[in-house]
Amino acid sequence: MPTVRDQASQAPPGSEHPFTFTRAIYSDQFRRGRGAWSTDYPKADRQFMIGFRRLTMVDASEAENPVSLTDPNLRRFPIAYAVEVGRMALTPAERDGLRSYLLAGGLLIVDDFWGSYQWANFAREIHAVLPEFPIVDIPQEHALRHTMYDLEELLQVPNVQNGIYGGGRTWEQDGFTPALRGILDETGRLLVIINWNTDLGDAWEWADHPLYPLPMSNFAYKLGINMLVYGMSH
């Protein structure tokens, strides 16, 4: 039976659809089990696509689609999503693959990493990929925050444990304030969208849980949809 990594080299499920939501497979610091990349996989991907299809009417596949950063087929998919990037530890081949993908027109969306330690690790890893471009805050007036939904405020989306049992706590580690940041090329095109101190993936995955906070899951879908529609249209 093929493994997830084997499947990344095959035609994706639902490839007859114009859009397939793609999750990036990458190496992490611990290199145990299936890897940090697979957090919330595949339920978050599937449920997000159900909502995305319903709310946008885009003909998107509902099937998950993990693809390695070293796989040339990654270029078939304009948007890639990566989680737990605070534990990222890219190999030279993965750095080269990601850089080639982004400079060729791809967009990387990162999510679900928290606090100063994980930020420092991700910033170091992405700087090795795109050393010529700085990380900047995405301002409230940027089109990303108004592509389909007007998002005047950034909500901190908690993990499922804090969302259901946390008694109002939404943060992890010292990640008290959510941030929406990005990396833009010299023309202003977004290469990387960075969701820090927030967990959109858990909100997508647990939106059907009766105790997960509805305002948080609603916001996570709205921001997720904005990111995909922005990526498709820019």
Q: Which CATH superfamily is domain 4-233 in?
A: Domain of unknown function DUF4159 (3.40.50.12140)
Rounded mean pLDDT of 122-135? 98
Are the CB atoms for 19 and 232 separated by under 8 Å?
yes
pLDDT band at 228 (very low <50, low <70, confident <90, very high): very high
Taking alpha carbons only, the member of 151, 193, 150, 148 closest to residue 56 is: 148
- Retrieve residue 178's tokens: 């959510």
Q: 122 by DSSP, 3-state: which?
A: helix
Question: What pLDDT, on a 0 to 100 scale, did the predictor assign at position 1?
Answer: 31
pTM: 0.93
**Residue 173 to residue 187: CA distance in whole angstroms:** 36
Through-space distance between the first and last CA atoms of the chain, rounded to whole angstroms: 39
Q: What is the CA radius of gyration of the chain?
A: 16
% the chain with pLDDT above 70: 92
Query: What span, in angstroms and rounded, lies between the C-alpha atoms of 87 and 85?
Result: 5
Given pLDDT bands bounded at 50, 70 and 90, which one contains residue 141?
very high
Choose among 130, 144, 125, 51: nearest CA to 84: 125
Q: Which of 102, 171, 154 is nearest to 130 (CA)?
A: 102
Strand pairing report for 66-68 and 107-111: unpaired
pLDDT at 213 over 50: yes
3-class secondary structure, 98: helix
pLDDT of 192 over the 90 cut: yes
Report which secondary-structure segment, H or E, holds 7. helix 4-7
Report the percentage of the chain scoring pLDDT > 90.
88
